[in-house]
Structure formats: structure tokens, C-alpha cells
Amino acid sequence: MKKITLTLLAGIALASCTVIRPGQIGLKQTFGKLRENPLNAGPRVFNPFVSKVIKINVRTVELYQVLELPTKEGLSVKTEIILLYHVNPSMVKSIYQNYGLNYQKVIVESNFIATARQVSARYDAKELYAVDRKKVEHVMVEELTSDIGDKGFVIDAVLLKEISLPNAMTQAIQAKASAEQAALQMEFVIQKAVKEAERLSIEAEGIKKAQNIIDSSLTESLLKYNYIEMLKGLSTSPNAKVIITDGKLPVMINEK
């Protein structure tokens, strides 16, 4: 009998103790009524016959969904989407009173799905797929915060992880991306050709100017002077030569 009594007392003692861990907020409920002040982390003692301690997680929670989201052009795209949120510690009591412990299903998840669909319907599939994904995520955060932020939920982020488009649209997007890349490559080739043409034009203009300078300097007096100097050089040469001239330009024939 004594052993049974000790076991019963030990069970009651254990039932009257609990530990609120870091990242949790406790609510003490006695005779169905919540205490005014929430309980912070640490060991807590209570009367298990009239009271209980309810623990609410205030850490960031990941809510993962696979949704069929509508697009602006009327398509439906399969999307893997993640919501990161946490409970506002100062509003734990209000959340429990209004939504119970199943608050994620009752208020967070339902609003998250509705907001995701409303926002995605404003964008084309291509914008969701590649162009404006970050913008869409930001808009979802803002609108979800507007919907449930005052109810005690802090929206940390919305992440569009994977978007699966119809095969025909995926191929069309890839083909357009390839065409844009080819156009950029062609533009580079054209610019290179234009630069090369400009270089050749500048080079030709320089040669033309040099030739003009040379032509303008070749006067008749200078040509005669060079002619006389050349004849002087021939006259001192040890080789026998025959020179035929019309008095202007000589033609030299080597004699062996």
C-alpha cells in the first residue's frame, strides 16, 4: 500500500511540473481561464487538477505547399511554394483564444493559399517563371502581412521554389532565350565589323594624306636635283654601264 501511495505521489509531482523551452511561450489556464501574463522559458509548477500549461511555439516555422496557381493568361502552373513565419510573442494569448492550437491550419495556411493565388493571377507565366519571381514573392509577403499581421503572425518570407510550366510554354521560353542570345551575338559581330571598317577608313585616310604630302613636295627642281645626284653616283661606279636618257629619266643597262 505504501509503495502504491509513493508511486501515486510521484506521478502527481511529475504531472504538476513542466518546462517551457527556449522558443516557446507558455499560457497557464486555471478552471478554463487564462492567466493574464504569459510564461517565459523555464521550469513551471502548477496544480494538474485545476490547471494546465499550454505551450506555443514562437520560432520561425516553414509551411510548404504544392499549389496549382492561376496566371494572367489563364494558365495553371504547378508551384512549390514556402512560407516562413512566426508567432508574435506578445500576441500568443490572443492567437490561442481566437484560433486555438490549430492556428496554422485555421488562419495561416488558408490565407497563404488565397494570397498566393490572388497575386499569381496578376502575372504572366513567364514572369512567374523567370522575370519577376522576387517581385512576386515580395508582393505576397506584403499582402499576407496586411491580411494576418494584425492577428499576431509575422511573415518572414515567401519563396517560390519550383514552377512547372506546360511543356509547350517551356520550349517557347527557351527558344526565345536562345534567339535573344543569338541576337546579342550578332550585334557584337556587327559592332566589331563597324569598328574594323572605321579603323581601315582612318588608316586609308592617313595613307592618302601621306601621299598628298609626298606629291606636293615632288617639284620639278627637286626631281632634276635627284637626277643629277644619281648621275654623279653612276659616274663614280667602277662598273661599266650604258645610260640611255631623254634628258629627264635615265635607263641603265649593265655591261658585263
Question: Mean pLDDT, to the nearest integer, of 129-152?
Answer: 89
Domain residue spans in the chain?
2-57, 61-165, 175-214, 220-254
Residue 86, class by beta-carbon neighbours within 10 Å (0-12 exposed, 13-18 middle, 19+ buried)? Answer: middle
**pLDDT score for 173:** 59
Over the stretch 16-42, which tens digit does the pLDDT of each residue have? 678 888 989 988 888 878 887 888 888
Does this model's pTM top 0.75? My answer is no
Judged against a pLDDT cut of 50, whether residue 9 lies above it is answered with no
pLDDT class of 6 with cuts at 50, 70, 90: very low
- In this prediction, residue 10 carries a pLDDT of 47
Q: Looking at per-residue confidence, does 138 or 175 come out higher?
A: 138
Over residues 141-160, mean pLDDT: 95
- At the topology level of CATH, where does 61-165 sit? Tetrahydropterin Synthase; Chain A (3.30.479)
Query: Would you place residue 112 in the very low, low, confident or very high pLDDT band (cuts 50, 70, 90)?
Result: very high
pLDDT for 70-79, tens place per residue? 888 888 888 8
The span from the CA of 118 to the CA of 136, in Å, is 11
